[in-house]
A = this chain, B = another copy of it.
Amino acid sequence: MHQQATVVDGLQISNWSRPVLEELRTGGVSAVNATCAVWENAAETIRSIAQWLELANRNDDLFFLATSGADIERAKEQNKIAVFLGFQNTSPFEDDYRYVELFHRLGVRIAQLTYNNQNLLGGGCFEAEDSGLTRYGRVVVSEMNRVGMLIDLSHVGYRTSREAIEASTVPVAITHSNPLWFFDTPRNKPHDVIQPLVDRGGVIGCCLYPTVSGGEHMTIESFAGMVARMVDQYGPSHVGLGSDCTRGWDHEFVGWLRNGRWQPTAPENSPRWPAWPNWFTGPEDFPRLTEGLVAAGLTDGTIAAVLGGNFSRLFAEVMDTTKEKANV
């Protein structure tokens, strides 16, 4: 059964091109949350979306810009990829809550509330102090609920995460993080963030990115075992996968992710891309990852849920049922 399972990748931040997208199809990935803004403001983000429109027009045999959970099965049937445009920061909203609906109209369906740092909405995962969800943050959460845009907490601070889970009227996601016990970094999540997220119907996508999963020597047995333990702890309906693949970039892009424009890029904060484990170097390796889940003893039904069923359900719940409320 799992060989026919629908695969949804909770997040990739690749340098998108036809070859990079073809890697997804080779790997059997039917849908992906594709980052189109990290530090960009509104004007920069519409340029990024314009590039996506052009890429979609030129490659309509390969992918389309998805706007609903139902698009995932449509993509699978057509052997295409449903690309969900996503933000890893709310910087494109600037200080204008109306930009939530504006970017929703442009196809954006997922937004992470903060990226590492404090922003107008709340605290980032690498701040020493987490402000919690701000006044503006509460407005944006409400507006995202209204228009049908999925809230992502992957790079968000713990306190802000908990407050956003509580403030949201629909389930939320952690698209690409691991439990803190698996690898100790502020990017991973403690039980007291994951449990309330699960209690409210959310999904956490376990993440392959080396700096949150242990680096190139992390084994497939270790990763699959972590997924299995997550399923045991939180149930089979709340665990997914978010590879965090970064295909096609040169090393300079890591500096952009790390520093944006908020601090100078210097040798000490200009890392190179980390090495990935040899059993998962890109989206083409999803079948191998699936084999690891089989070897870990997960049932076919659970594997299908983890590979894509859970994110498909969540996307549909957030995007499809609420969008009628918006005047869009």
Contact = CB atoms under 8 A, between A and B. Distances in A.
A96 interface: yes
Given A64-B327, A327-B56, A327-B64, A46 B102 contact: yes
Contacts of A244: none
A96 B47 contact: yes
A143 to B, nearest CB: 10
Interface in A295-309: none
A278 interface: no
Contacts of A56: 327
The DSSP consensus for interface residues of chain A is: helix
A42 B65 CA distance: 22
A50 B102 contact: yes
Contacts of A51: 98
Contacts of A46: 42-43, 46, 99, 102
A54 interface: yes
Contacts of A53: 98, 101-102, 105, 327
A60 interface: yes
A247 B274 CA distance: 60
A107 interface: yes
Contact of A65 (B50, B65, B98, B327): B327
A149 B107 CA distance: 19
A49 interface: yes
B98 A54 contact: yes
Interface string A50-70: 110110110010001100000
Given A43-B43, A106-B105, A98 B50 contact: yes
A105 B102 contact: no
Contact of A50 (B43, B64, B96): B96
Contacts of A57: 101, 327
A148 to B, nearest CB: 14
A50 B327 contact: no
A87 to B, nearest CB: 15
A105 B64 CA distance: 15
A60 B98 CA distance: 16
A42 B41 CA distance: 13
A293 B221 CA distance: 82
B60 A327 contact: yes
Interface in A62-92: 64-65
Contacts of A96: 47, 50
B98 A102 contact: no
Nearest to A53: B101
10 contacts: A43-B43, A46-B46, A46-B102, A50-B99, A53-B98, A53-B105, A57-B101, A64-B327, A105-B107, A106-B106
Given A43-B46, A65-B327, 8 more contacts: A42-B46, A47-B96, A50-B98, A51-B98, A53-B101, A54-B98, A102-B106, A106-B106
Interface of A: 42-43, 46-47, 49-51, 53-54, 56-57, 60, 64-65, 96, 98-99, 101-102, 105-107, 327
